[in-house]
A and B are shown apart, each in its own frame.
Chain A
Amino acid sequence: MSETKSGVVIIGAGHAGGTIAALLRQYGYEAPITLIGEEPLAPYQRPPLSKAWLKGEADADSLALKPTEFYAETGIEMLLDVRASAIDRAAHTVALHDGRTLAYETLIIATGARARSLPIPGADLKGVLSLRSAADAEELKASLGPGKRLAVIGGGYIGLEAAASARALGGEAVVIEREPRILARVACEILSDFFTAYHRARGVDFELGAFVESLSGADGHVNGVKLADGRTISCDVALVGVGAPPNDEIAQAAGLDCNGGIVVDIHARTSDPDIFAIGDVSHRPLPHYHRSFRLESVANALEQARQAAAAITGRPPPAPEVTWNWSDQYDLKYQFAGMPFEIDDIVLRGDPATAKFAVFHLTGDVIQAVEAVNAPAEFMAGRQLIAQRRPISRSRLADPTVSMKEVAA
């Protein structure tokens, strides 16, 4: 098979894989593109799964990245419901579980991450769910509503969004967290306290510093979460959200450099120049911070899709972005940007009691990260200041009567 015929093969048809396929066409790439997905669905957006979709405010069409006919029209071949099993770098081929072998000129690994499962008794009961895919969300949605109690194991964003959605649908929700505070890994204490209080005021219960020992059930279906202190928290459905390890095994087996994710450079290229890795599965440089990290966000997937698509089509590389993400809970718009590495101070702007405030993380007078609740100006200005690495006045930053335009001036 000639090189021009083999083109780009993309393993993984999630947000990252679907985006780069479309971008390559947008950037004028004309050789074949093959997109391999283990789910039966064409690429779709995952963020709404725990939000609008769970509440019935979004349908399959609105989730889809592109209309189904887009792929045929643009010559992107989709192989769905099939997994890639191995990469032969010397032969430039990918083997599929169904026995087929695909040749590639350039390979893109966009295999994402998977929900970590709990290694405890009862974790295999019916009604013990995770939330990564549309199928997961469908199952969870069917278990929410009046008279139904959702137990969320793990106080991260997905769990909190699901708890908010459960309440919106008229059911009960309890969040069980091993750490003494929710969002311990991803947000500062001010945010943890704020979100805990906001959810409590809307009827969500919390069990903090609670160690889950096992899940109990009847007739094979979950009915409770047993804690180490001997109590059982009753529930009709349990959502496990305790992190997502990268699906980098196929890269490890192929001998690509991996370090808690596939190691890539600023163009999303792996240690093999013909192989790129994008999205949750990659361990990538953060140029603003002079270090590498594995990010799990749509913004990261899209930035890396743009980097790799530019490299493959010979376009100039895009300017490095400041990483960011968002979460919608109730009427709250939570946006955060940057990474709080080597912080020596935090500045609170606004009052959490008003549900409109921002927390800035600084090293000296330079902003490293911002967490903003219903505060889009603080988020947008903060993101720009993080990119500029420019010192600002902490006292002006802390004063909400000084506009963010003036702070940034």
Chain B
Amino acid sequence: MPKITYIEHNGSEHVLDVKNGLSVMEGAVKNNIPGIDADCGGACACATCHVYVDAAWADKVGAKSAMEESMLDFAENVEATSRLSCQIKVTDALDGLIVRMPESQH
């Protein structure tokens, strides 16, 4: 199973094995990791699963849909590497992925 590192805003690191096919958001929620609330359960409707994707992984996580882009436009603390983690599907290619959480979800 791909290993994903989730880093909370306060620096706490969680390294998890996440099943292929789940989203990066689901990997965090199912393991009760603080900082990724995912109120809408992955419907791309709430922007409470905002993460920063480590620069080295930017190309591998795929492109944002127009919907995700619009949601992120109005999320807090947005940066160039911001993504909604519910929109990133876990595959073997993401083994080693590192995501960080924004201050607004602290």
Chain A residues in contact with chain B, CB under 8 A? 22, 25-26, 45, 47-48, 62, 65-67, 70, 74, 298-299, 302, 324, 326, 328, 333, 335, 376-377, 380-381, 384, 404-405
Q: Complex: how many Å from CA A253 to CA B74?
A: 45
Contact B41 A48 (CB under 8 A): yes
Chain B stretch 3-57: residues in CB contact (< 8 A) with chain A: 26, 29-32, 34, 37, 39-41, 43-47
Q: How many B residues face the partner with a CB closer than 8 A?
A: 21
Contact B74 A404 (CB under 8 A): yes
Contact B73 A380 (CB under 8 A): yes
13 A-B pairs, CB-CB below 8 angstroms?
A48-B41, A70-B31, A298-B39, A298-B41, A326-B40, A326-B45, A333-B44, A333-B67, A376-B70, A376-B74, A380-B73, A380-B75, A405-B73
Contact B32 A66 (CB under 8 A): yes
Contact A298 B40 (CB under 8 A): yes
CB B7 to nearest CB in A, in angstroms, measures 16
**Chain B contact residues: over half helix, strand or loop, or mixed?**
loop
Q: Complex: how many Å from CA A105 to CA B53?
A: 42
In the complex, besides A70-B30, A299-B39, A405-B73, 10 extra interface pairs with C-beta distance below 8 angstroms are A25-B32, A26-B34, A74-B32, A298-B41, A335-B45, A376-B67, A376-B74, A377-B70, A380-B70, A404-B74
Contact A47 B30 (CB under 8 A): no
* Set of chain A residues within 8 Å of B39, measured between Cβ atoms: 298-299, 302
Q: Complex: how many Å from CA A70 to CA B70?
A: 34
Contact A333 B45 (CB under 8 A): yes
Q: Complex: how many Å from CA A381 to CA B47?
A: 12
By beta carbon, the residue of chain A nearest B40 is A326
Is B58 on the interface with A (CB-CB < 8 A)?
no
* Set of chain A residues within 8 Å of B46, measured between Cβ atoms: 299, 324, 326
* Set of chain B residues within 8 Å of A67, measured between Cβ atoms: 30
CB B8 to nearest CB in A, in angstroms, measures 11
Is B61 on the interface with A (CB-CB < 8 A)?
no
Contact A381 B74 (CB under 8 A): yes
Interface centre among B31, B32, B73 (most CB of A within 10 A): B32
Interface centre among A45, A47, A62, A298 (most CB of B within 10 A): A62
CB B87 to nearest CB in A, in angstroms, measures 12
Contact A380 B47 (CB under 8 A): yes
Contact B73 A377 (CB under 8 A): yes
Q: Complex: how many Å from CA A387 to CA B73?
A: 17
* Set of chain A residues within 8 Å of B40, measured between Cβ atoms: 47, 298-299, 326
CB B72 to nearest CB in A, in angstroms, measures 9
* Set of chain B residues within 8 Å of A405, measured between Cβ atoms: 73
* Set of chain B residues within 8 Å of A65, measured between Cβ atoms: 29
Q: Complex: how many Å from CA A244 to CA B86?
A: 30
CB B34 to nearest CB in A, in angstroms, measures 5
By beta carbon, the residue of chain A nearest B66 is A376
CB A408 to nearest CB in B, in angstroms, measures 8
Contact B74 A47 (CB under 8 A): no
